[in-house]
Structure 1
Amino acid sequence: MINKKLKFGVIKEIFSWASVLVAAAVIAIVLNLFIIANSRVPTPSMENTIMTGDRIIGSRLTYLFNEPKRGDIIIFKFPDNEKKYYVKRIIGEPGDIVDIKNGGVYLNNSETPLHENYIKEPMIPEADMHFEVPEGAYFCLGDNRNSSEDSRRWVHSYVYKEKIIAKVIFRYFPGFKMLK
């Protein structure tokens, strides 16, 4: 009799733990598919904001209610190969004119370059570049301009809104840091 009760108690305990693990797995899958995007940054293109190897979390819901805006750091499908995800900062919004000259980024024919306190170091000057951002698209650059494959270099220079996966919110490894 005691042996049967003990056996039933062990089975009940195993079933209890298994149901908790299954529920946790389902919650994690739903969170990752619909609410958050978890990513590891493999390159130095966003340094010093996001370092090589950092793990970040983005919100998949942000752009359901708001439009992406200049300065947002986003996770998106790389326009030249949508199987890859990239992380960059939005610089140009739909309808913007982006000129890169003398190591600076100029918006909408401004005489003054953007003030970008997040870039790692001044851009090494190169040939002048001119971009006109189409409707529904964004022009994106890495914060480490001298080591970033970004809108300046891609065959398809723009990230369309429907290809944006998430707005990056914070880094969780190594250490926690809100990202702007």
Structure 2
Amino acid sequence: MPFIQKSLPKKPSFKPVAGGDQIKGQIKDFIWETLKVIVISLAIIIPVRYFLIQPFYVKGASMEPNFYDHEYLIIDEISYRLGEPERGDIIVFRYPNDPSQFFIKRIIALPFETIALNNGQIKISNKKTPDGFILDENNYLPNTHTQGNTSITLEADQYFIMGDNRSSSLDSRMFGPIERTDIIGRVWVRGWPFNRITVFN
């Protein structure tokens, strides 16, 4: 009987699934694009956060009725690098007696001005009006009586600040004027609560 040699079955061959390398490439591209977005976002957010704006929470009642406890504010830090603080600006600054604390108050008098508090009125004298004028605050503090009797002439880069709640505010009437270097920035936006969101000029 003739011997018949049977051929062994061939081993199955495996070919890489078409598109496998393409999928890996897409994953790498996705990771790379995500990293680029993160890096670019940080490059924008970090300078904005540390050099342009800063968040701030109101603490206490010294700025009522215009600002209340726990309101969330955004502070503009760039404006005073380009220009000068103005009367009426609402600012955040370092408390001179404890620079670790930050206060919010309103600028009342500017460098080289003389401010006098008497009988509930605020009188300001400067080079333009040497005889002085009575500060009108009715647009933001109607029917407000300012306690205190004092008179002071400010030096260069000094500002006299007060809280809007004049009967419950630790301000320049107690600790004197603040220096320009103490000022962090001006209040730009009230972001919380939602029903009081405001952009300040």
TM-score of the superposed pair, with normalisation by structure 1: 0.83
Which structure has the bigger radius of gyration?
A: 2
SS of residue in 1 equivalent to 2:74? strand
Aligned pair partner of 2:67 in 50, 57, 81? 50
Aligned pair partner of 2:54 in 20, 37, 41? 37
Q: Where do 5+ consecutive residues of structure 1 fail to align?
A: none
Specify the alignment match of 1:158 in structure 2: 177
Whole-angstrom distance in 2 between the partners of 1:124 and 1:169? 26
Q: Which amino acid counterpart does residue 174 of structure 2 have in structure 1?
A: R
Aligned pair partner of 2:33 in 16, 20, 27? 16
Q: Which amino acid counterpart does residue 120 of structure 2 have in structure 1?
A: G
Q: Which amino acid counterpart does residue 104 of structure 1 have in structure 2?
A: Q
SS of residue in 1 equivalent to 2:173? coil
SS of residue in 1 equivalent to 2:80? helix
Cα deviation for residue 15 of structure 1 reads 4.2
Specify the alignment match of 1:173 in structure 2: 192
Cα deviation for residue 14 of structure 1 reads 3.9
Closer, same or farther: CA 10–27 of 1 in aligned 2, 3 Å:
same
Specify the alignment match of 1:149 in structure 2: 170
Aligned pair partner of 1:134 in 146, 149, 155? 155
Q: Is residue 105 of structure 1 aligned with residue 127 of structure 2?
A: no
Q: Which moved more, 1:117-126 or 1:83-92?
A: 117-126
Cα deviation for residue 71 of structure 1 reads 0.9
Specify the alignment match of 1:93 in structure 2: 110
- Count how many residue pairs are aligned between Structure 1 and Structure 2: 177
Cα deviation for residue 49 of structure 1 reads 2.2
Q: Which amino acid counterpart does residue 134 of structure 2 have in structure 1?
A: P
SS of residue in 1 equivalent to 2:87? coil
Specify the alignment match of 1:25 in structure 2: 42
Closer, same or farther: CA 29–147 of 1 in aligned 2, 3 Å:
same
Closer, same or farther: CA 168–94 of 1 in aligned 2, 3 Å:
same
Whole-angstrom distance in 2 between the partners of 1:3 and 1:173? 50
Identify which of structures 1 and 2 has the higher relative contact order when contacts are C-alpha pairs closer than 8 Å and 6+ apart: 1
Q: Which moved more, 1:114-123 or 1:2-11?
A: 2-11
Identity %: 28
Closer, same or farther: CA 148–120 of 1 in aligned 2, 3 Å:
farther
